[in-house]
């Protein structure tokens, strides 16, 4: 495989990973749980709130990119939900720290990154075909 093709494929793979992580964050944004400081009996009884992730793209040696998935910090925010069975004495629960606007931007970045890398890959293939046709 050529260097150009491997760089474009690495970009497409990173874009796919970015979209997967963002979709998982949005799907689990309402998955609240007990606060980490809650009564240990409650923490053991109910599942923890979803811990959202983020994707950072870094360049790789020799060209290309890769996606590194890391937890969002802080992973949870305290929100009021006194009706939840795992709410603390103040009626607070831990909700995932998911920003829907940021997730929409991440999904658009993934979409355009994938499309542009696919275009590079297709253009590279067409150029290689032209080179082969010239030598024939």
Task: Report pLDDT digits (tens) over 23-77.
Answer: 999 999 999 999 998 889 998 999 999 999 999 999 998 889 999 999 999 999 9
The number of folded domains in the chain is 1
What backbone phi and psi angles, to 5 degrees, belong to 68?
Answer: -110, 125
1 to each of 35, 69, 128, how far by Cα in Å? 50, 27, 12
DSSP state of 47: P
Instruction: Find the domain containing 26 and state its range.
Output: 3-135
Query: Of 31, 40, 35, 47, nearest to 91 (Cα)?
Result: 35
Query: In the predicted model, what is the mean pLDDT of the chain?
Result: 93
What backbone phi and psi angles, to 5 degrees, belong to 121?
Answer: -65, -45
The predicted pLDDT at position 131 comes to: 77
The predicted pLDDT at position 48 comes to: 94
Mean pLDDT of 7-18: 96
CA distance linking residue 96 with residue 44, whole number of Å: 18
In this prediction, residue 135 has a pLDDT band, given cuts at 50, 70 and 90, of confident
């Amino acid at each position: 495989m050529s260097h150009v093709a491997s760089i474009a494929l690495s970009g497409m793979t990173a874009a796919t990973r970015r979209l997967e992580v963002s979709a998982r964050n949005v799907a689990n944004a309402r998955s609240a749980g007990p606060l980490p400081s809650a009564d240990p009996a409650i923490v053991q009884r109910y599942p923890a709130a979803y811990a959202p992730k983020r994707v950072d793209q870094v360049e790789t040696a020799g060209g290309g990119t890769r996606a590194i998935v890391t937890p969002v910090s802080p992973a949870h925010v305290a929100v009021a939900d006194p009706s939840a069975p795992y709410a603390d004495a103040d009626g607070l629960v831990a909700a995932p720290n998911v920003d829907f606007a940021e997730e929409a931007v991440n999904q658009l970045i993934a979409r355009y990154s994938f499309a542009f890398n696919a275009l590079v890959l297709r253009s590279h293939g067409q150029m290689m075909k032209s080179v082969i046709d010239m030598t024939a």
